[in-house]
Amino acid sequence: MSQHVSCNDCSLSPVCLPLAVAPAQMDQLDNIIRRGRPLKRGEHLYRASDNFESVFAVRSGAIKTYVVSPDGEEQVTGFYMPGEVLGMDGISTAHHVSNAKALETATVCEIPFSQLENLSQQIPTLQHHFFSLMSDEIRADRELHMLLSKKSADDRVASLLLSMSARHQRRGLSSHSFRLPMSRYDIANYLGLAVETVSRIFTRFQQKGWLEVSGRDIEILDRASLCGNAPDTGTVEIQL
Amino acid sequence: MSQHVSCNDCSLSPVCLPLAVAPAQMDQLDNIIRRGRPLKRGEHLYRASDNFESVFAVRSGAIKTYVVSPDGEEQVTGFYMPGEVLGMDGISTAHHVSNAKALETATVCEIPFSQLENLSQQIPTLQHHFFSLMSDEIRADRELHMLLSKKSADDRVASLLLSMSARHQRRGLSSHSFRLPMSRYDIANYLGLAVETVSRIFTRFQQKGWLEVSGRDIEILDRASLCGNAPDTGTVEIQL
DNA sequence: CGACGCGTTGAGGTGGGTCAAATAAAGTGG
DNA sequence: CCACTTTATTTGACCCACCTCAACGCGTCG
């Protein structure tokens, strides 16, 4: 079993880290990356208070991140799909500040951060790409800020669906038909809504003929109407 | 008029960029930093769609950042106080994605980003510090996410006050008595509330004896009760 | 089969929004 | 420094989007 797939052979390389590295230097990046065993659904990739040592790129499956407040309530802070990088919020604290849990069977590439920093000293484009990745995350959070503070429940759900659609498309998959990796509970929690509200909105969107919903399987029938709900035109890029 | 204050002489250096740079290399950092003329209240430091060339450290005064959605509504995304760095959300796009506007007369240090990247290649601690800064921003956004998605209006306002208090303290100023640089409108917008709600909460907190409020002047009388409202215990660090 | 997790649906309550209007504060031109 | 406009802030009355509570259907797994 070739758990050691090189970045060169990985179908995600155009949307993942390697896009910042010239072929000649690919081996250097490849050498510091660790490919671990697959995570089973529900397994943790890391937990808050674990030492921060690495960031992770999702290879397959899906991961959710969440924080738990002192009074024990959970806040889902993001969903990470193949080609996306997570764990960057722990850099400044030496320990992770959130938890990361597999939503379904998932494989990840582990990138030891101190080695990545070293490599970034040698490969300026890699340094720049990492700054960009973090910048993207900040920008996505700004979008989310507006979504949570100004938009209706309908807008929030529409926006999430369009985001998932865009991220599928980025990987070369269908943008109109896909399966959500997360539960209604996670969606609601992430968007600051009650589960019941999310469920009702799904049925309403379906009644309006905008979606075909069957459990977690989604088919987008009328993207324009969904966009009308979501603030962002066309290229919704909420990276969450 | 010595608009060119060196980082060495700046009272903010322990909380700003220089903390990551050894004295021997301070000059290199100092040389790439540009000190501009002061901004007047209401003036823009940059606007969305301006080319992204620099990040900025606030030297005095206060700056707010905001985005404007396609349908014209404004979302305040952050408040930046002396010693804090803003503009990092533009790195990946080559243009700024938000607007930055002075809330009161303010001076900033401009740090051309490409030169900062070059310097980071030579000074590993500087590279690390910048990663940390961005990581902090992401972490703060996570906190804000929970605030907006799970917490009551009271909690949100309390949390903002405690955050402002903590940031004053970090600069060696009073943590219990300070002046808010932003309007009620900005607070409400940032926290996803109506102005009226914010105003009512201020009066209510005052009635309970938790605060002394006079316009934008705040005195914190009962921190414990405020913390009880805000989820975060003690060291509230919401960096926003 | 029974139990548990997940999703949906209905009925009813409320935190915080909206609208309206008064008051205070800040700017502006003379 | 004053009258005058504009912009903040506060307060009150009313209402609605979304939450809560409760019940039910449906897989699936021991």
Q: Judge whether residue A231 has pLDDT over 60.
A: no
Q: Confidence class of residue A111 from pLDDT cuts 50, 70 and 90?
A: very high
Q: Which residue has tokens 């193949």?
A: A82
CB distance from B123 to chain A under 8 Å?
A: no
* Sign of the dihedral through C-alpha A185, A191, A194, A200: negative
Contacts by A22-29, CB closer than 8 A, 24 or more apart:
A22/A123, A22/A125, A25/A122, A25/A123, A28/A119, A28/A122, A28/A123, A29/A119, A29/A123, A29/A126
Closest to A81 (Cα-Cα) out of A7, A159, A168 = A168
Task: Please calculate the CA angle B43-B49-B51 and round it to the nearest 5 degrees.
Answer: 90
**Tokens encoding B123:** 């000074």
pLDDT by residue (tens digit) across B175-186? 999 999 999 999
**What Å value separates CA B179 and C1' D6?**
23
pLDDT of residue B228: 80
Could you count the other beta carbons within 10 Å of the beta carbon of residue B48? 17
Contact flag A142-B91 (C-beta cutoff 8 Å): no
Interface of A with B in 170-229 (CB under 8 A): 189-192
- Interatomic CA distance for residues A35 and A22, integer angstroms: 21
Beta bridge partners of B67: B75
Residue in B92, B190, B191 closest to A135 by CB: B92
Which residues, other chains included, contact B35 with Cβ-Cβ below 8 Å and sequence gap of 6+?
B3, B4, B5, B59, B107, B109, B110
Q: Judge whether residue B18 has pLDDT over 80.
A: no
Query: How far, in whole angstroms, is CA B196 from its chain's centroid?
Result: 24
Q: Judge whether residue B189 has pLDDT over 70.
A: yes
CB of residue B104 closer than 7 A to nucleic acid strand C? no
Could you count the other beta carbons within 10 Å of the beta carbon of residue B30? 17
Domain-wise residue ranges, chain A: 7-140, 151-228
| DSSP letters for A148-201 | HHH--HHHHHHHHHHHHHHHHHHTTS-SSEEE-SS-HHHHHHHHT--HHHHHHH
pTM of the model: 0.92
pLDDT of residue A144: 97
Contact flag B192-A148 (C-beta cutoff 8 Å): yes
Q: What is the distance in angstroms between the Cα of A26 and the nearest Cα belonging to chain B? A: 19
pLDDT of residue A37: 85
pLDDT of residue A4: 67
Q: Which of the residues A65, A123, A142 would you substitute to probe the B interface, choosing the one with the greatest number of B C-beta atoms within 10 Å?
A: A142
Which of 3.60.70.12, 2.60.120.10, 1.10.3720.10, 3.40.50.970 would CATH assign to domain A7-140?
2.60.120.10
* Sign of the dihedral through C-alpha A227, A205, B151, B15: negative
- Interatomic CA distance for residues B176 and B33, integer angstroms: 33
**What Å value separates CA A2 and C1' D17?**
53
- Interatomic CA distance for residues A2 and A202, integer angstroms: 40
Nucleotides of C under 7 A from a protein CB: 6-11, 15-20, 25-27
CB distance from A235 to chain B under 8 Å?
A: no
Q: Judge whether residue A74 has pLDDT over 60.
A: yes
Could you tell me if A13 and A82 are in contact, meaning their C-beta atoms sit under 8 angstroms apart? no
- Interatomic CA distance for residues A196 and A201, integer angstroms: 9
Alpha helices (H) along chain A: 26-32, 113-122, 124-150, 153-170, 184-191, 195-207, 223-229
B151-228 CATH fold: Arc Repressor Mutant, subunit A (1.10.10)
Contact flag B139-A192 (C-beta cutoff 8 Å): no
Q: Confidence class of residue B23 from pLDDT cuts 50, 70 and 90?
A: confident
- Interatomic CA distance for residues B213 and B240, integer angstroms: 22
Contact flag A142-B98 (C-beta cutoff 8 Å): yes
Which tops the pLDDT comparison, B231 or B7? B7
Report the SS3 class of residue B190.
helix
Average pLDDT score, chain B: 90
CB of residue B184 closer than 7 A to nucleic acid strand D? yes
pLDDT of residue A8: 85
Task: Please calculate the CA angle B175-B179-B182 and round it to the nearest 5 degrees.
Answer: 120
DSSP assigned state of A56: E
CB of residue A127 closer than 7 A to nucleic acid strand C? no
Closest nucleotide relative to residue A151's CA, C1' based: D17
Q: Confidence class of residue B79 from pLDDT cuts 50, 70 and 90?
A: very high
Closest to A20 (Cα-Cα) out of A123, A107, A112 = A123
Contacts of A230 in chain B (CB under 8 A): none
Closest to B107 (Cα-Cα) out of B190, B3, B215, B2 = B3
